[in-house]
Amino acid sequence: MTPQLTDRHALALHRARATRDALFLHEAVVAEVQERLMEVNRTFTDAVVVTPFPDLWPGFRTVPDGEVLDLAPESQDLVIHALCLHWADDPVGQIVQARRALRPDGLFLCATLGGQTLHELRAVLAEAEAAVTGGLSPRVVPMGEIRDLGGLIQRAGLALPVADSDTLTVRYRDALHLMGDLRAMGETSALAERPRHFTRRAVLLEAAARYQSAFADPEGRIPATFEIVWLTGWAPHESQPQPLRPGSATHRLADILPKH
């Protein structure tokens, strides 16, 4: 059985109170998807988006990012997984379901938060809680590094896998305003093992002070890093380039390299 990382009920409540003005990360993903699809020499006729915020995807069929995706086998030629894979208890299972929903030579395109996301906030929260309470609590959902996330595409059986990332740095007046923005995004902690009580005010104030001291720019504003990792793969098809069999090379590497 897959360990439960996310409290789905809490996550749904958090997303329900999200405000459109705070969904700038999701809007950036929408714009980037459009750019990436323009670079693909293909017209897609059966596309679906896995997203918690369907209003951001007019013109697309959307499905929620539940444990079981509402996708029929080989029903799509494009599946977009839009900035919600980091909440999945089984991220490989999510990609496998997308793979099964694709027709041969269909495209899977995923945007997810990567491991550098909110590294500043995570560091100061841990330091502040340890200093104030003498302990640590799970507060931020773990997010994969790009190399590990890229490996998920191959594990799911997709061909021609590519992983790349963009980093967005947003500046805030202070850490408390950043935390308020995360709440408005619906991205506050929904970990199943999170503390079930409000964080002590002393911890938050200590974290804010440490954030300011360690990261503030000359104008006193603090940076918040958001890393968006992009995963791309294709449902296998005989028309796609195939790797050569081991031992089938017709030239030796030594014959190609310059001689000294």
Q: pLDDT per residue over 88-117, tens digit each?
A: 999 999 999 999 999 999 999 999 999 999
* Residue 209's pLDDT band (cuts 50, 70, 90): very high
Residue 99 forms part of a structural domain:
yes
Spatial distance between the Cα atoms of 103 and 76, rounded to a whole number of angstroms: 6
Residue 83 forms part of a structural domain:
yes
Residue 257 forms part of a structural domain:
no
Residue 244 forms part of a structural domain:
no
pLDDT average, residue stretch 180-192: 87
Looking at 5-9, 35-39, 65-69, 72-76, which range is the least confident one?
Answer: 5-9
Q: pLDDT per residue over 229-241, tens digit each?
A: 999 999 997 777 7
Residue 251 forms part of a structural domain:
no
Residue 121 forms part of a structural domain:
yes
| Residue-range definition of the domain harbouring residue 217 | 8-237
Q: In this model, does residue 221 exceed pLDDT 60?
A: yes
Residue 256 forms part of a structural domain:
no
Q: Where residue 209 sits, what CATH number does that domain have?
A: 3.40.50.150
pLDDT average, residue stretch 59-82: 96
Q: Considering its fold, how many domains does the chain have in total? A: 1
Q: In this model, does residue 141 exceed pLDDT 90?
A: no
pLDDT of residue 193: 66
pLDDT of residue 143: 82
Average pLDDT, the chain: 88
Q: In this model, does residue 1 exceed pLDDT 60?
A: no
Residue 258 forms part of a structural domain:
no
